[in-house]
Amino acid sequence: MQSTPLPSPGFRLLRWSAWAPGLATHEAWAAWAGGNALPSGDDAPAVKAMPPMLRRRAERLGRMLLETLFEPTLAYHGQPLIHASRHGEATRTVPLLTELARDGAVSPQSFSMAVHNATSGLFTIARQSQAPVTAIAAGPETACAGLTEAIGQLADGAASVLLCFSDEPLPALYQPFVDDAEAPFAFTLELATGNEFTLTSLPGRGGNATPLDLLRFLLGNASRLPLTARGNWHAVRTGAPA
């Protein structure tokens, strides 16, 4: 029996937006992509585009993501939303668990915002969108898992999807478990079906890409990026027109 090789899964990058302390414009991010520094700092964006009664629910991590989703160039019109974050709202859950252990009661508001799809849900409430929201946490493979989900939803017929990533340094309690470079950031990629970039598995063992490694690759001109240690998946820049 003859088998036809499956086509390499791929995508086109239509638009993007990103926010981190000190990096608020496309120009600043383009310059960042050419170096190897990580964002750092405690600033949070204003998220002026969001109604204050909804905005008040979000803390720094959520505000960074919301700032990228409200970016005008993204022109949100109900695209399906995929939000991948390795650690999510850990800066909320640690104080919540501490409070629970001490008082036996927690803040309902903070609890409701501590779940992994809370911020993306808040965005769809603000935009009165009924588009699907998918929330992903996949440890050190979070970047690749987000891409895989996006490619899957495109294959399933979505015209384009918004793939968002956000994370921030873990609270002190979890610092002994940190195993990759930590930085505060959020970014959103609008992806469509295509072959500008493809995913491919190579022989041997590769390395895991963080979401910021992925952003740097997409904005730069390197020919490929190792995505996962397991399976040695790579993202490949094909040179096909976007």
Partner 1 sequence: MSDLNHEIKALIIDSLNLEDLTPDDIDSEAPLFVDGLGLDSIDALELGVALQKRYGLTLSAESEETRRHFASISSLAAFVEASRTK
Amino acid making up residue 236: V
Query: For partner 1, which stretch binds (CB under 8 A), given 1-9, 11-19, 70-78, 106-114?
Result: 106-114
Q: Does 104 bind partner 1 (CB under 8 A)?
A: no
CA 121, CA 160: separation in Å to the nearest integer? 19
x/- map, 45-74, partner 1, by CB under 8 A: -------xx--xx-----------------
Q: Minimal distance in Å, beta carbon 112 to partner 1? A: 5
Between residues 44 and 170, which has the closer beta carbon with respect to partner 1? 44
Q: Does 6 bind partner 1 (CB under 8 A)?
A: no
Q: Minimal distance in Å, beta carbon 52 to partner 1? A: 6
Candidates 46, 75, 101, 105; binder of partner 1 (CB under 8 A) is 105
Q: Minimal distance in Å, beta carbon 216 to partner 1? A: 34
Give the contacts of 160 (CB within 8 A, at least 6 positions apart). 14, 79, 154, 190, 191, 192
Helix (H) or strand (E) holding 224: strand 224-226
Between residues 93 and 198, which has the closer beta carbon with respect to partner 1? 93
Between residues 1 and 53, which has the closer beta carbon with respect to partner 1? 53
Assign residue 139 a region: left if phi > 0, alpha if psi is -120 to 50, beta otherwise?
Answer: left
Half-sphere exposure of 211 (CA within 13 A, CB side): 30
Tell me the number of residues near partner 1 by CB under 8 A.
Answer: 9
Helix (H) or strand (E) holding 84: strand 81-84
Which 8-state DSSP code applies to residue 48?
T
Candidates 8, 98, 109, 175; binder of partner 1 (CB under 8 A) is 109
- Say how many C-beta atoms besides its own lie within 10 A of residue 227's C-beta: 28
x/- map, 111-150, partner 1, by CB under 8 A: -x--------------------------------------
Torsion of CA 214, 219, 221, 226, to 10 degrees: 0
Candidates 98, 107, 175, 223; binder of partner 1 (CB under 8 A) is 107
Candidates 35, 72, 108, 241; binder of partner 1 (CB under 8 A) is 108
- Say how many C-beta atoms besides its own lie within 10 A of residue 190's C-beta: 20
CA 18, CA 207: separation in Å to the nearest integer? 24
Interface contacts to partner 1, rule CB under 8 A? 52-53, 56-57, 105, 107-109, 112
